Amino acid sequence: MLSALEKDRIRVAEIDVQIQNLERSLTALQIEKRLAQDRLDSYTYPVLVLPNEVVSEIFIHFLPPYPACPPLTGIFSPTVLTHICRKWREIAIATTTLWRAIHITSYYRIAIERQAHISDVWLSRSRCCPLSIVVEHHDTESLLEVLLHHQARWENLKFDCLLSDLLPRIKGPMPLLRDLDLSLYDFDPLLMVAFHDMPRLRAVTLNDHAALSLVLPWAQLTSVTFIAVYPSECVPILQQASNLVRCSIGACLEVGNDHPVPDVRLPSLKSLILGDPGQFQLTGFLQKFLVPALHILEISERSLGPNPIESLASFISKSGCELQQLHITGHDDLAVSEASYPTAFPSVRVSFSRYGDGWRDEE
């Protein structure tokens, strides 16, 4: 019995020695850890000592160039910059230009009410910046009130929605608006909305319903694009837009309308695009244009009729223009060989594209 107790006393003493050794090792490790942590705490990452203005500029280059819009959410949204650290969050929120371009669309898997809320936050953060707004959503009721509150800051505006939801609710001046892209998907022949207080408006894109529903300061425009319109819908506008430099028209044949299309004189026009007429062949429309300053013409060969070379020669002679570039579009079969065009117009650079193909130059 005594020998067993003696063994236990010896073992306890051994354990005490081991504990003391371990405690000394633990103390040494704790000291080493504290010193290492002090060194870490004293280190400042170079990116964190950059001036706020430099960080802000880096953030701006994270986004697509304005007026293109970043997504509202996800890794390419400016919101992600607010999730890195407190300092970067403060800088991002204070950088007003991060929040000036807003894209609302039905393609997002986000309820329109949520998109409206995010838009409201961004608009608040953008403060006094001019705005680029893209709305591609037919359910705009909860959104319009948010956007209309900032109407005076609209600079680039694209709406793809219902006429009845939009036009009657827009009132007052838009002093910063430069570019308007409007596609409406319903039409009320009794509704015509006029906007005159747009002193900076220069570029407009309209579909057929928008062209029939709007009165704009046409004379101040320098660029206009019409999408799927009849000549009778776009020509009255073109006759008032005497300062156009660029014009693109996707015109369709108006079946049942036998009224002649009047001539359109655009003395400053340099670039004209006449898109493919679609199912029904629309010929002779090019001949209605008197464009003495024209340098660039893109046209579907079907629009030139059965004798495209003669049609082009007649158009150039009538306009008195010095055409520099001609781009012919069409399907697989051209009415005349590609080589016929540069032969007929040796001073013009001619190129071709067929639907589904890329461009081909014919020097």
- Please give the model's pTM, rounded to 2 decimal places: 0.84
In a domain, 202, yes or no: yes
233 and 316 housed in the same domain: yes
202 and 118 housed in the same domain: yes
The DSSP code for 256 is: T
In tens digits, what is the pLDDT along the chain, a chain of 363 residues? Answer: 668 788 888 888 889 899 999 999 999 999 999 999 988 888 777 777 889 999 999 999 999 999 999 999 999 999 999 999 999 999 999 999 999 999 999 888 889 999 999 999 999 999 999 999 999 988 777 788 899 999 999 999 999 987 666 788 888 899 999 999 999 888 887 788 899 899 999 999 999 999 999 999 999 999 999 999 999 999 999 999 999 999 999 988 776 667 788 999 999 999 999 987 566 667 889 999 999 999 999 998 888 888 999 999 999 999 999 999 999 988 767 778 888 999 999 999 999 987 654 444 554
In a domain, 23, yes or no: no
212 and 359 housed in the same domain: no
Alpha-carbon span 125 to 132, nearest angstrom: 14
128 and 62 housed in the same domain: yes
Alpha-carbon span 71 to 109, nearest angstrom: 12
User: Is residue 213 within 8 Å of residue 233, measured between CB atoms?
Assistant: no
50 and 194 housed in the same domain: yes
What are the DSSP calls for 200-251, one per residue? T--EEEEEHHHHHHEE--GGG-SEEEEEEE-HHHHHHHHTT-TT-SEEEEEE
Which residue's entry shows tokens 């949204």?
77
- Per-residue pLDDT of 57-112, as tens digits, reads 999 999 999 999 999 999 999 999 999 999 999 999 999 999 999 999 988 888 99
95 and 138 housed in the same domain: yes
83 and 175 housed in the same domain: yes
Sign of the four-CA dihedral 205, 211, 216, 219: positive
294 and 354 housed in the same domain: yes
- Per-residue pLDDT of 232-272, as tens digits, reads 999 999 999 999 999 999 988 776 667 788 999 999 999 99
186 and 240 housed in the same domain: no
In a domain, 295, yes or no: yes
232 and 189 housed in the same domain: no
Domain total of the chain: 2
303 and 319 housed in the same domain: yes
Which residue, 217, 271, 218, 274, is CA-closest to 245?
271
Which residue, 334, 231, 351, is CA-closest to 280?
231
Domain that holds residue 154: 38-216
Q: Estimate the crossing angle of helix 52-62 against helix 86-94, to 10 degrees.
A: 70
